[in-house]
Amino acid sequence: MREDTRSGIAAAMRLAEGVALREAVGAGGPGDWLALDQGVREAAWRYGLRLLPEPPSVDPAHPAESRLALALCHGDGRIREKAVRSSARYPGLLPLVVIRAADWAEPVRERARELLREALDLEAAIALAPLILSVGRRDRGAFGVGLLGAVLRPAPLGRLSALLADPDRAVRRFTYRLAVEQRLLGPVQLARAAARDGDTVVQDLCVTAALAARPGEDVDKDVPDEVLTPLLTARNPRTRAAGVTVLRRAGRARQAQSFLTDRSALVRACARYVVRQLGGHPAGWYRERCTAAGPDLPPGAVIGLAECGERTDGELLRPLLAHPVPGVRAQAVAGLRALDLTDTERLRPLLEDPSPGVVRQTALALLPSAPDLPADWLLGHTDLKWPRHVRIAAFRLLNARGGVVALRAAVGLLDDPDVKLRTWAGQSVQRWRPSAEVPRGDAEVGELLDRSRHLFSEYVLRRRKWEAGLAG
């Protein structure tokens, strides 16, 4: 049973015992109310209808908030409708009225919407926005979202600040759209929001609005530093890329050159575009830096050369495999792979590199050549004497080889002290199938499958052995 279902059933049982609504529901987030709505019906099915109020108990002459909450979630639509009629005098039930406004039964739905129109003021809209937007994803949830927008639209920016910082990204998206539509945020505020928010939809929305021309403004006007600086210094690549792209419009195209070595491929691509518009030659710029290959060589210059260079640039990248900076070595490997210049013998020693990033890129580059790598050499690198990142890379390559070698490596790691390797090895054994290169009836395969029998049912184990040409 899912955790939210369990919590909903527990809340329903507490309400049936007479516990106050707010105490029974807990934090009162959208998930709590939705879980309660489901939990009441689940409790009725599991524990019998005696848990729930019978129709007479929702008589408006003697309402009780806890019992009305149960009635609002009742499986019988007639009981839900009667409960909605009695809910107006209990503001604490408004979250459940929001849910009922998307009810499948039309009489319940219409009564709930009528009550919601009357009760949803600005204060309630701000408090219930996460729930309304969550319910809004349902088939009949558009009414609540429309009503929320109508109530929030006239609100000043100060009242919306809590929603602009809400942890629920759907709430932030909705509120930022509203703020942009109402022109509540200036370009500087929008640029800072784009740099600060972790959601890509909010980032794009705010960047677009920050850089859009206002009525009476020229779209080609200079973009002020107060807008550009937050964009160019943002942690998220999409916002930085937008800032770099607009440098030309801002009359600062030369500044794009400093972003040619950015850690993000998207930002580097935008920087190359702006530099080319200025008449520059990014590939030549990258070649100059990779030729110098000093200790301060940015890793972004290495991969940048591979992104816009030619196969002949591999001659500049190969010496960088021995560069003292790990990031440069890793990007040199990635660059050679991007140019389709992977040299198995040259890259093999880098599987023992002390830098996890270098080993990770090396394993990725060697994956297509995994069947050509010495099996015993790779198996030796899964030994505990090697660092964790080396062992993971070696097993990744062994797993890509398939056949008996892959099964031998996986079974050997089933008791490994490293949780990731141990789990991955078990999954590998369970997915293993004999390839065409595996001799039918191979005794070693039978022994390895027997050692891992705890991972299979008896039927599946027999099936695996039969596929390998072994007796069950």
> Residue 222: inside a domain, yes or no?
no
Q: Which amino acid is at 423?
A: T
**Helix count and strand count (H, E) for the chain:** 28, 0
How many other β-carbons are positioned within 10 Å of the β-carbon of residue 464? 23
Confidence tier at 2 by pLDDT (50, 70, 90): confident
Determine the pLDDT at residue 44: 80
Tens of pLDDT, residue by residue over 181-233, are 999 999 999 999 999 999 999 999 999 999 985 544 555 456 888 999 999 99
- Tell me the DSSP string of 77-112: HHHHHHHHHHGGG-GGGHHHHHHHTT-SSHHHHHHH
Contact 192, 230 (CB under 8 A): yes
Determine the pLDDT at residue 64: 80
* pLDDT exceeds cutoff 70 at 35: yes
Token output for 125: 């809209």
Determine the pLDDT at residue 20: 87
Domains: count for the chain: 1
Between residues 386 and 222, the one the model is more confident about: 386
Confidence tier at 61 by pLDDT (50, 70, 90): very low
> Residue 53: inside a domain, yes or no?
yes
Share of residues in the chain with pLDDT > 70 (%): 94
Q: How far is the C-alpha of 117 from the C-alpha of 111, rounded, in Å?
A: 10
Determine the pLDDT at residue 155: 95
User: What is the mean pLDDT of the segment spanning 265-272?
Assistant: 97
Share of residues in the chain with pLDDT > 90 (%): 78
Q: How far is the C-alpha of 225 from the C-alpha of 101, rounded, in Å?
A: 47
Give the structural domain span for 10: 1-119
Confidence tier at 55 by pLDDT (50, 70, 90): very low
> Residue 144: inside a domain, yes or no?
no
> Residue 239: inside a domain, yes or no?
no
Token output for 208: 């677009």
Determine the pLDDT at residue 28: 80
> Residue 32: inside a domain, yes or no?
yes
User: What is the mean pLDDT of the segment spanning 169-174?
Assistant: 97
Q: How far is the C-alpha of 425 from the C-alpha of 452, rounded, in Å?
A: 10
Determine the pLDDT at residue 48: 64
Residue spans of alpha helices (H) in 182-255: 187-196, 200-211, 225-232, 237-245
* pLDDT exceeds cutoff 50 at 243: yes
User: What is the mean pLDDT of the segment spanning 68-91?
Assistant: 91
Determine the pLDDT at residue 221: 59
> Residue 403: inside a domain, yes or no?
no
Q: What is the residue whose two structure tokens read 């809910």?
A: 87
User: What is the mean pLDDT of the segment spanning 112-121?
Assistant: 96
Q: Who contacts 386 (Cβ-Cβ below 8 Å, separation ≥6)?
A: 352, 394
Q: Who contacts 96 (Cβ-Cβ below 8 Å, separation ≥6)?
A: 33, 36, 37, 69, 72, 73, 87
* pLDDT exceeds cutoff 80 at 423: yes
> Residue 168: inside a domain, yes or no?
no
Supply the mean pLDDT for the chain: 91
Tens of pLDDT, residue by residue over 390-399, are 999 999 999 9
Q: Give this prediction's pTM.
A: 0.83
What does each C-alpha distance from 133 to 119, 170, 295, 305 come to in angstroms? 17, 7, 52, 46
Q: Who contacts 153 (Cβ-Cβ below 8 Å, separation ≥6)?
A: 178, 181, 182
Residue spans of alpha helices (H) in 19-76: 21-25, 30-47, 65-72
> HSE (CB half, 13 Å, CA atoms) of 106?
0
Tens of pLDDT, residue by residue over 400-410, are 999 999 999 99
